[in-house]
Chain A
Amino acid sequence: MTLLSNSMDNGCFSSPRHEAFPAGLRVLVVDDDPTWLRILEKMLKKCLYEVTTCCLATEALKKLRERKDAYDIVISDVNMPDMDGFKLLEQVGLEMDLPVIMMSVDGETSRVMKGVQHGACDYLLKPIRMKELRNIWQHVFRKRMHEARDFESHEGFEALHLLMNGSEQSDDGNIFAVEEITSIKKRKDADSKHDDKEFGDHSPTKKARVVWSVDLHQKFVKAVNQIGFDKVGPKKILDLMSVPWLTRENVASHLQKYRLYLSRLQKENDQKSSSSGIKHSDSPSKDPGSFSFLNTASNKQQSDVVIDSFSPSDGSLLQMDAPSHEGDLKRILSEPTTEKRRASPKSSQMSLNQPFSSVESSEASHAIFDCTIQTQYSWGEFPKGPLKEEQKTTVQLEDSFSQLPLHGTRHHIQVDQSQSIASINSNPSITEEEVAPSLDTKPLYAGYKSDYVSPVSSMGTAVDTFPNQSKSLILNDQSPEPIFTSNLGLKTDGFDVDCISDLDFYQRSLLLCGDAASAPLEEDLNFFLLQTEWYNMNFGQQNIDISECYDPRLVAEAPGYFYDSADYSSVDQSLFIA
């Protein structure tokens, strides 16, 4: 019971909401229309909810990140000036895993469907009635029930039972139990995440909620690739991943997110596909390796897009224009991310590693990748490698951070490209495994390179801790050098804001994980590299011209994998934070 009492006392924001649920529900409303903001605030207050209003999506994200447990549910408008509502929805879902309700004056079926696809738990049409708002608590409750169920399957089983049994008499009791469990879980999550950062050690998580670590996601991606994107299904992925504590639901939801991610990348890539430099984008699914990765990761449509981005002319790393690279990479990353979230993490992790390995060959890319990879690792794919499967997500954070330092070194190595490349090339095995001729990834890397520069530099500090490791990682077996075009200046409109905040986050994490110096496996490196790239990609606003690193070998290897990782990392970024 101390757990419970602790959770209750934890943080001043924890109101005794369980006593009067649904009263006291903490709602965050995001809408650029001041009139509606005021009306909704008044309506929600009338429902006895605790309301916080924001008129900017970026501000809302900041608030959410400040205190992860400060809100129970988010209500957001679809059309906002600074950020697309769907993007915010995705971010919140990935990072904070809160239920999000979308609202709009536009009630077209396609829009509603898009909202649901992106993970909205409800879609309200304006003008909104009081009665519609009165029932939003059901989404919070439902989520807690799911979490409690997950909780059961992991450690803390006893505690859960204790709670549930104790409160079986009344519905309220059940609600309390669920809430308590959730709060315990959340608190533990928060604590363990923090701790993980410090120690960089994977400890068996006691969280109920699955955190998709780098390893887990790699496994997921790998499984997805193995199955073949067309035939992928949560059950198959779960079986392939063979992670004992993972449930089918975890995999399913991760798969969905991964698909969304990939589709988003695809879309962005489409928008940027104007650049002719991106060869990979032109060749749809020519790359079995990358394609498979993409396919498994995302829906058909998405995979098509991803493939496009991935399909670099076989074996030829092309100089990708930053924007096109960005788009592709993003797509790829997003796809794997969503996939990862749904499918078993193992597969995803694996697949991600592959591309990374191939990409890491190029030195220049290393530098760039370092930044992104670092970030990405933190997202959830720890370069620590698939070995750490058993570790729960909290550990992930640590991993990512440890990875980050590793990459950070590489970043430092921007100057010393060879060094970085070496580290990146450490995954010969991985590259060979699944590195299908996914040349596409290479071009992406090129584009992302520049982007990475800035984030990398910021992370450079922590990097110093892993110089040796990076070197060890540099196996150079097949090290297809990632093609890093100088135009990392991929500008992602939507990413800028996110990236910056993510970057900050990663930077902080990086510093925290300073001592998480575990010998990064090659796979990790690759993954890391990919993530870095992905990360860079996401930081499109940073137009950094990085010396291009063209590695024909890389082209030949599995650029697709690279993309996967990259995409994965970007998506993982948000996932990781969760």
Chain B
Amino acid sequence: MCVCVSVELRCYINPSTPCHTTPHCTISFAILTTIQTSFLFFLSHFLIMDKIHSHRQVAVIKHSLFDQGYLDEQFIQLEELQDDANPNFVEEIVTLYYRDSSRLISNLDHTLERNPLDFNKLDTIMHQFKGSSSSIGAKKVKAECTLFREYCRTRNGEGCRKSFQQMKKEYAILRKKLETYFQMARQAGPKETALRPK
């Protein structure tokens, strides 16, 4: 169609060429061209905008994760480690973290059910959990871990339980947000990593 249009246009521009198109054909062709190009223009614009929009969405989610203190610098470090050799490095790490942390949380659950509470054991498990959470930069979760360990140190069973519930909540929220984040990132495409919150 474009070729036709261009041919027509050429004919139109160069009247010397033996063109057998009628003037009104030329005009129609011109209109066609305009429509075509504008169509293409809007189409591409739409697609690009959509992509930008998706990326922006991802960026927004990411920004919120950082601004609200769910993630810290470590997460950015992980992203910087991502490269061609490991294109899904961050997700891989986060998946490892989920696995490890789930195990530790259920371990904590069991240990908190005991009576009397074994504070040393609780502290040990939580120490592990804190270390694990620091690997992806789970800031709020880490803060809750520190609080929990403080309660362990002062042998405050009730404080431990409350802190643990709070920590589980933060963990669940973070996990959900991260899942959304990765989903959007996957949809938006590879350009996503370029949009990084500063």
Contacts and interface: CB of A to CB of B under 8 A. Distances in A.
Q: Answer yes or no: are A and B bound together in one complex.
A: yes
Interface of A: 32-36, 38-39, 42-43, 46, 77, 79, 104-106, 126-127, 129-130
Contacts of A79: 124, 127-128, 131
A35 B80 contact: no
**A32, A34, A104, A105 pick with most chain B CB within 10 angstroms:** A105
A42 B100 CA distance: 18
A35 B133 CA distance: 9
Which of B80, B135, B136 is most buried by chain A, counting CB atoms within 10 A of its CB?
A: B135
Most buried by A among B73, B81, B99, B130: B81
Nearest to A37: B96
Given A34-B100, A127-B137, A39 B78 contact: yes
B96 A42 contact: no
B192 to A, nearest CB: 20
Given A33-B100, A33-B132, 16 more contacts: A32-B128, A33-B135, A35-B100, A35-B132, A36-B132, A38-B93, A39-B135, A43-B81, A79-B124, A79-B127, A79-B128, A105-B131, A126-B131, A126-B135, A127-B74, A129-B77
A35 B97 CA distance: 6
B86 interface: yes
Nearest to A42: B81
A79 B135 CA distance: 15
B interface, over-half SS: helix
A149 to B, nearest CB: 37
Contacts of A129: 77
Contact of B127 (A36, A38, A105): A105
A127 B77 contact: yes
B103 to A, nearest CB: 10
Contact of A39 (B73, B93, B100, B128): B93
Contacts of B127: 79, 105-106
Nearest to A43: B81
A38 B96 contact: yes
Contacts of B80: 130
B135 A127 contact: yes
B86 A105 contact: no
Contacts of B66: none
Interface residues of B, number: 24
Nearest to B83: A46
Interface of B: 73-74, 77-78, 80-81, 86, 89, 92-93, 96-97, 99-100, 124, 127-128, 130-132, 134-137
A38 B137 contact: no
A104 B127 CA distance: 10
B129 to A, nearest CB: 10
A106 B146 CA distance: 10
B81 A36 contact: no
A64 to B, nearest CB: 23
Ranked 4 nearest A-B pairs via Cβ: A105-B131, A35-B135, A127-B74, A35-B96
19 contacts: A33-B128, A34-B99, A35-B100, A36-B132, A38-B96, A39-B81, A39-B135, A42-B89, A46-B81, A79-B124, A79-B127, A79-B128, A79-B131, A105-B127, A126-B135, A127-B134, A127-B137, A129-B77, A130-B81
B77 A104 contact: no
Nearest to B80: A130
A304 to B, nearest CB: 26
B97 A105 contact: no
A107 to B, nearest CB: 11
A322 to B, nearest CB: 25
A79 B124 CA distance: 9
Contact of A130 (B77, B96, B99): B77
A392 B162 CA distance: 62
Given A38-B96, A127-B74, A33 B131 contact: yes
A36 B137 CA distance: 11
Nearest to B145: A105
Contacts of A36: 131-132, 135
Contact of A34 (B73, B78, B81, B96): B96
A46 B124 CA distance: 32
Given A46-B81, A127-B77, A35 B93 contact: yes
B136 to A, nearest CB: 7
A82 to B, nearest CB: 14
Contacts of B89: 42
B131 A104 contact: yes
A43 B128 CA distance: 21
Nearest to B74: A127
Contacts of B131: 33, 36, 77, 79, 104-105, 126
A126 B127 CA distance: 12
A195 B32 CA distance: 92
A77 B77 CA distance: 20
B180 to A, nearest CB: 21
A42 B130 contact: no
A566 to B, nearest CB: 31
Contacts of B137: 127
A35 B138 CA distance: 13
A46 B79 CA distance: 13
A124 to B, nearest CB: 12
